[in-house]
């Protein structure tokens, strides 16, 4: 009985050896669940041939193991007869890319903002975003979950996601308490629809209250900043401040010997004359005219009046005094009280302004003198005359009327056409002689033939006594010697 048991044990022992020992015919084999070259982060299942026991190089004793790391994995499998066999499998692990999604700014994000999302730079890598973009970074403007997948040149991939939330803009409105087009000096109140919960900044004046008062033209709007840091902007309120009209119909004027005249007014964007005309310049005759002016958007109307007079053209009369070569000639004239400007032309090229000028002539000649006058209404008149400028006569100062035939006469000869008048006075102011003629020949006697005593006498000689102007006067002393 013992013999049979020993034989049976030996027979069984012979069958449980390796495939190459004792007649065992058992082969161990490792079967991978997929490629044996994997990306980092991936795994592969290695499964050994079915047996009774398993002894893996990792220390595992299960039929299958999951491997993540590179290396040579081996297993020894023993079947139920005690036969065993080994196999190995080499696993290669390729580094995978590392994907991240990083925003260019910290939240919160407000509606209307733009956020740029970046991922990890991978040499020779390909990028695919959930937006179908393939760039290293993308710009987003709406809320959502944004994912990027990176594939390296070995085909390994990695993905990362980031939720981006944009806070919606809260609409705000403005309210006006009156018209936004008004006269200069008036105003309009503008209020925001946000009484609390946000800070205000008005443009263009920079005020920070909920309501403002606008007094100047401009585009007004408000920006409200919320506690989140986001802002809301209102629509623009256009304020137009219209200047108050100031009608001006011009200064009172005159027709100046004409039947009509042009008058011009202004002071507003819309004009209306009392004639019904609306042009700034109109043609009128004598009369009183009212101009009304207003500016659209301002309800104020301004009026002004202009008077057009019909006046005669001023005709000045020129008068003058002494008219001797080298002596000042005083000119004057008769003018209406309305004359404001005088322009004199003396005929020798000289000119002067003013009502009563003085001019000295250098040559004996007849000159045409003209004065142009302008009155307060702009009417122009002319006056003209001729003036004869004469030389001063050479008058003797001593004569001896003693009958000796030498210097017996006080002789004055005038080569000009005018007559002369000579008056002689003694030392007591008594007139002792008077003569009017074109030539004076005095023998020292009075007009009644009485001889005068020797002495000094005073004379007054007037030239051109019948001319249309004031005569020229010469005076002096003469001595009568016997």
Residue 117 lies in a domain: yes
Confidence of residue 417 (pLDDT cuts 50, 70, 90): low
pLDDT confidence of residue 464: 65
Which CATH number goes with the domain that contains 126? 2.60.40
281 lies in some domain: yes
> Which of 213, 242, 271 finishes a domain?
242
Identify the weakest region by mean pLDDT among 13-17, 210-214, 326-330. Answer: 13-17
Query: Is residue 159 within 8 Å of residue 148, measured between CB atoms?
Result: yes
Does the residue 445 lie in any domain? yes
| 248 within a domain of the structure (yes/no) | no
* One domain, residues 11 and 88: yes
> Is the pLDDT confidence value at 23 over 80?
no
Q: Check whether residue 84 and residue 29 sit in a common domain.
A: yes
With a CB cutoff of 8 Å and minimum separation 6, the contacts of 307 are: 252, 253, 287, 288, 289
Tokens of 309: 């007079």
Residue 294 pLDDT class (50, 70, 90 cuts): very high
Average pLDDT over every residue of 191-205: 90
Residue range of the domain that includes 142: 102-167
* In a shared domain, residues 304 and 334: no
Span of 163-167, 361-365, 428-432 with lowest mean pLDDT:
361-365
**Tens of pLDDT along 419-430?**
789 999 999 999
Tell me what the pLDDT averaged over the chain comes to: 89
Q: Are residues 116 and 70 in the same domain?
A: no
Question: Considering 133, 167, 201, which residue would you say is the last residue of a domain?
Answer: 167
For residues 209 and 260, membership in a common domain is answered with no
Q: Quick check: 217 pLDDT over 60?
A: yes
| Alpha carbons 186 and 184: distance in angstroms, whole number | 6
pLDDT in tens, 179-192: 999 999 999 999 99
Give the distance, in angstroms, between the CA of residue 176 and the centroid of all CA atoms in the same chain: 29
Has residue 433 been placed in a domain? Answer: yes
Residues 106, 90, single domain; the answer is no
Backbone angles phi, psi at 3, to 5 degrees: -60, -45
- Among 6-10, 155-159, 317-321, the minimum mean pLDDT is found in 6-10
Q: Which residues, 6 or more positions from 396, have their beta carbon under 8 angstroms from its beta carbon?
A: 410, 411, 478
Spatial distance between the Cα atoms of 305 and 307, rounded to a whole number of angstroms = 7
* Tally of domains in the chain: 6
What is the per-residue DSSP string for 275-307? TS--SSEEEE-SEEEEEEEE-TT---EEEEEEE
Q: Are residues 338 and 293 in the same domain?
A: no
Q: Is the dihedral of CA 349, 355, 360, 365 positive or negative?
A: positive
**pTM beyond 0.75, yes or no:** no
How many whole angstroms from its chain centre is CA 83? Answer: 104
User: Which residues, 6 or more positions from 341, have their beta carbon under 8 angstroms from its beta carbon?
Assistant: 353, 373, 374
Q: Whole-angstrom distance between the N-terminal and C-terminal Cα of the chain?
A: 223
pLDDT tier at 292, thresholds 50, 70, 90? very high
Q: Quick one: pLDDT band at residue 364, thresholds 50, 70, 90?
A: confident
- pLDDT for 479 beyond 90: yes
- CATH number for the domain harbouring residue 233: 2.60.40.10
Q: Give the model confidence (pLDDT) of 121-154 as tens digits.
A: 998 899 999 999 999 999 999 999 999 999 999 8
State whether 305 and 337 are in the same domain: no
The verdict on residue 284 lying in a domain is yes
More confident residue, 89 or 325: 89
Is residue 247 domain-resident? no
Q: Say if 233 falls within a structural domain.
A: yes
Strand spans (E) along 83-207:
84-94, 102-103, 109-110, 115-118, 126-129, 137-140, 144-151, 157-164, 166-167, 174-176, 181-183, 188-192, 199-203
The pair of three-digit structure tokens given for residue 428, joined into one six-digit string: 């007591």
CATH number assigned to the domain comprising residue 428: 2.60.40.4070
| pLDDT exceeds 80 at position 368 | yes
Domain boundary among 218, 242, 266: 242
Helices (H) and strands (E) in the chain, counts: 1, 43
């Amino acid at each position: 009985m013992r013999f049979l048991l020993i034989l049976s044990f030996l027979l069984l022992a012979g069958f449980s050896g390796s495939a190459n020992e004792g007649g065992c015919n058992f082969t161990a084999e490792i079967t991978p669940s997929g490629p044996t070259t994997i990306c980092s982060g991936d795994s592969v299942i290695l499964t050994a041939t079915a047996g009774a026991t398993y002894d893996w190089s990792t220390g595992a004793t299960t039929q299958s193991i999951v491997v993540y790391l590179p290396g040579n994995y081996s297993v020894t499998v023993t079947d139920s007869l005690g036969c065993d066999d080994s196999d190995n499998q080499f696993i290669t692990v390729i580094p995978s890319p590392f994907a991240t999604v990083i925003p260019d700014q910290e939240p919160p994000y407000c509606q209307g903002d733009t956020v740029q999302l970046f991922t990890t730079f991978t040499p020779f890598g390909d990028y695919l975003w959930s937006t179908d973009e393939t760039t290293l970074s993308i710009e987003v403007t709406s809320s959502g979950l944004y994912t990027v997948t990176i594939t390296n040149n070995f085909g390994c991939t990695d993905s990362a996601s980031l939720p981006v939330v944009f806070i919606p803009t809260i609409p705000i409105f403005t309210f006006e308490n009156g018209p936004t087009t008004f006269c200069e000096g008036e105003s309009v109140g503008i209020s925001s629809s946000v009484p609390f919960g946000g800070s205000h900044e008005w443009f263009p004046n920079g005020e920070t209250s909920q309501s403002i008062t606008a007094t100047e033209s401009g585009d007004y709007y408000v920006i409200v900043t919320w506690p989140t840091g986001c802002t809301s902007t209102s629509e623009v309120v256009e304020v137009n401040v219209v200047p108050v009209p100031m009608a001006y119909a011009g200064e009172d004027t005159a027709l100046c010997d004409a039947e009509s005249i042009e008058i011009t007014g202004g002071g507003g964007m819309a004009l209306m004359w009392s004639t019904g005309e609306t042009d700034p310049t109109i043609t009128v005759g004598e009369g009183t005219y009212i101009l009304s002016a207003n500016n659209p958007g301002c309800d104020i109307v301004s009026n002004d009046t202009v008077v057009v007079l019909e006046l005669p053209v001023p005709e000045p009369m020129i008068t003058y005094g002494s008219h001797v070569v080298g002596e000042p000639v005083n000119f004057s004239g008769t003018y209406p009280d309305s004359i404001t400007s005088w322009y004199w032309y003396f005929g020798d090229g000289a000119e002067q302004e003013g009502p009563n000028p003085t001019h000295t002539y250098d040559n004996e000649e007849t000159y045409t003198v003209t004065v142009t006058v302008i009155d307060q209404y702009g009417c122009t008149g002319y006056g003209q005359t001729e003036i004869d400028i004469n030389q001063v006569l050479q008058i003797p100062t001593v004569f001896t009327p003693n009958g000796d035939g030498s210097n017996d006469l006080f002789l004055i000869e005038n080569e000009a056409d005018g007559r002369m008048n000579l008056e002689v006075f003694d030392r007591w102011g008594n007139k002792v002689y008077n003569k009017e003629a074109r030539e004076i020949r005095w023998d020292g006697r009075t007009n009644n033939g009485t001889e005068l005593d020797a002495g000094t006498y005073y004379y007054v000689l007037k030239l051109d006594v019948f001319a249309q102007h004031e005569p020229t006067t010469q005076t002096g002393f003469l001595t009568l010697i016997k």
